[in-house]
């Protein structure tokens, strides 16, 4: 943004020090609306020039480093209008508000943004990681370019997913003719990873059963507690928890349209099938 200001509305502050007038040759700082109209009208000319100036500054500051760290992460941007792609999703700061869920790539030393992808507010990164893994499993070894194109994923997003899958041991990275390729790990290795996770879950289940046994026997004191759940995963956890019971009546109050947007119709279809089987209303 202009001289470090995050909002055009704040450019009124520039009128107090004369920097903007000196750099532009204007007698005074234009009003926010005038400045907005100018930037929109001249976007075709200004955008490449500003990008070029930014790249020159970036090259100057990064030239003194021998190594670079690329940090891929997602963030939540709350909006209050009806812009395209703005929907309710995971938003820990402003629960229930519409947002974007962009994926950003920055250089860790300077926190300089190198690229990004604007995504809908209800995009779940885990779903896209699964999509990446399943595509490799079904189609075999792929370059990042082919994988992004065929799976319908952007390159910046894809590299983040591949990194996590590789760290978890689910895929391997190779290099052929100076080109990186990716493929799933061997069946035996994937099975070993899954077996390890299953064993951990079974152990946790066994420990929990022991605790409940002690509670029922009265050897372990306990008292009712309130639990708080947040985000999409939290809501799913609460609803799935209901399926642990049978023949009960529940009272639930929520905006059903918003919940369908967040959790998807498929989730509720499967949930209702199980709920009806267990006579839960």
Lowest mean pLDDT among 83-87, 164-168, 199-203, 270-274: 83-87
Give me 131's structure tokens.
């999509």
239-245: list long-range contacts, CB under 8 Å, 24+ apart.
239/263, 239/271, 240/271, 242/275, 242/280, 243/271, 243/274, 243/275, 243/278, 243/280, 245/278, 245/280
Reply yes or no on whether the pLDDT at 146 is more than 50: yes
Segments making up each domain of the chain, as ranges: 125-185, 189-222, 225-281
**13 backbone dihedrals φ, ψ, rounded to 5°:** -65, -25
Q: Is the pLDDT of residue 216 over 80?
A: no
pLDDT grade, residue 156 (50/70/90)?
low
The DSSP secondary-structure symbol of 81 reads S
CATH number of the domain located at residue range(s) 125-185 in this protein: 1.10.10.10
Percent of the chain topping pLDDT 90: 1
pLDDT in tens, 247-263: 777 777 777 777 777 77
Most confident residue range from 21-25, 46-50, 139-143: 139-143
């Amino acid at each position: 943004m202009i001289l470090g200001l995050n909002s055009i509305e704040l450019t009124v502050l520039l009128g107090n020090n004369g920097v903007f007038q000196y750099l532009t040759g204007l007698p005074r700082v234009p009003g926010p609306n005038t400045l907005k109209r100018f930037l929109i009208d001249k976007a075709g000319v200004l955008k490449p020039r500003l990008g070029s100036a930014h790249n020159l500054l970036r090259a100057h500051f990064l030239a003194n480093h021998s190594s670079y760290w690329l940090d891929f992460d997602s963030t939540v941007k709350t909006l209050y209008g009806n812009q395209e792609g703005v929907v309710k999703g995971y938003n820990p700061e402003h629960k229930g508000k519409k947002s974007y869920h962009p994926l950003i790539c920055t250089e860790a030393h300077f926190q300089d943004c190198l690229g990004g992808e604007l995504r809908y507010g209800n995009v779940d990164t885990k779903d896209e990681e699964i999509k990446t893994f399943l595509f490799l499993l079904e189609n075999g070894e792929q370059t990042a370019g082919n994988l992004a194109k065929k799976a319908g994923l952007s390159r910046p997003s894809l590299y983040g997913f591949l990194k996590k899958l590789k760290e978890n041991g689910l895929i391997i990275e190779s290099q052929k003719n100076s080109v990186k390729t990716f493929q799933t790990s061997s069946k035996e290795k994937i099975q070993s990873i899954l077996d390890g996770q299953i064993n951990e879950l079974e152990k946790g289940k066994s420990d929990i059963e022991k605790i409940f046994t002690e509670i029922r026997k009265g050897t372990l004191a306990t008292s009712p507690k309130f639990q708080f759940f947040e985000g999409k995963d939290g809501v799913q956890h609460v609803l799935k928890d209901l399926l642990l019971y049978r023949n009960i009546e529940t009272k639930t109050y929520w905006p059903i349209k918003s919940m369908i947007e967040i959790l998807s119709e498929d989730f509720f279809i499967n949930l209702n099938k199980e709920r009806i089987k267990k006579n839960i209303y």
